Structure 1
Amino acid sequence: MSQEQPQRSDQNEQEAIKYGDVFQVSGELASKPITPQDASTMQTAENMALGHIQKGGPAAVMQSAASVNENRRVVGHNDTTLDQEVTVSDAEVAGHHIITQSVGGQVVGQYVGAGPTSGSERGGGGDVDDPVTIGEALEAAAMSAGEKPVEQSDAAAIQAAEVRATGRMQVTPGGVAAKAQAAASQNVRAMRDEDKTKLGDVLADASSLLEKDKAVTREDAEGVIGAEIRNQPELATYPGGVAASMAAAARLNQQNK
């Protein structure tokens, strides 16, 4: 018996964190592991609706759980278990906004606020079902991976996103892609991380730097993912980065069609 206990402990250490472990959900969803792509989808939805990633909210919880699962190697970086809709709704009742976050129709977070509606925060006057644009997806990456120093893989992904948004093959002078490329080049020469330009510095106002913008499609996301991977020695996308945010935006737009 003394030899069996450590074996059970090792198995527990490698067990995936599931939705039922961190949220009050039931049925099939409760038994599904939380993956990095699931977390990215919720991060994008939350940022689009609220204008920020809520500290301690469902997106943050999912990101933490997904990171643990990936470190345990029980899920892959590009895995997703969400074939169901992710929504963040905002209902106004007596001057207060009731924010409800759901996965597959099951509520994973709800709170009451008195701030502006999600449409006002997005600056377009639309509701949370408005399609996510490329500019908004880039700004979501600024929120979720804002402290990451800009590398060549980021610059390539941002350039691919700009091309998709504007329809122009050339980099726009003074645009977000040019800004990213300049940052990546400068960062190569910087000796300390604190001296490097971060993604948040480049992408915080991405929408305003795009001459044109459009709703993110799966084809847009695939193009950006390919650009990031081709310029990354590990041939992988960065969690919460440009490609991940574009992929999450494409999934949200597909769900809301």
Structure 2
Amino acid sequence: MTRGIFITGTDTGVGKTVVAAGLLRLAARMGEGVVGLKPVASGATPTPDGLRNDDALALAAAGSLALPYGDTNPLCFEPAIAPHLAAAEAGAAISVPALLGWYGRVTRDAGLAIVEGAGGWRVPLHPEGFLSDLPEQLGLGVVLVVGLRLGCLNHARLTLEAIERSGRSPFLGWVGSRMDPGFERAAANLETLERLLGGPALAVLPMLADTSPDRVADLLDTPAVRRLLAGPS
């Protein structure tokens, strides 16, 4: 059975794709048959082959198993707005049951799937559902990317509480992503995050000029992350 890890963040733009692509590349180095998935993406470019989202393309390129674009990212919308609004403007409906079927089909040959969310944990997909419904119903473990900037303590703790509330998606740990060179008391904030999130970060990424999967994989290559990717022995 395919193991799955869901990557969420404290907000949009905190480095989820950078972390997910780095994890994919590290897992590939470890010999895992790993696939990167982006169930829903908004903010796409029209191409002769259809809409393409840069984050989904990055995930597709970082893993060890190749999929057609539509299997990597089944729901892709052009405007860079909340997915439920983009879907409504496109006259499309986002169905969690359909996404559950998609996940089972495209991960059939993979040992590990790394699935990147959109925005934060409780992004709406339709009036009565959220993107978090997908990892919860699949029982995927969650890695939280924390954007290290003013406000991250509240955002991180609230996200953890929301993840734990359902009890269906195990919290696997967190990755710090430095975003603000002027972030004051950074070390003290990291200590507070360790307390609020139940343990030290799997890794803390510096601000990077080079965010290539290979570079990020080097930074994520810690014993804790390797254990996460290897799964139960």
TM-score of the superposition, structure 1-length normalised? 0.26
Higher percent of residues as strand? 2
Structure with more contact order per residue of length (Cα contacts < 8 Å, sep ≥ 6): 2
TM-score of the superposition, structure 2-length normalised? 0.28
Higher percent of residues as helix? 1
Structure of larger gyration radius: 1
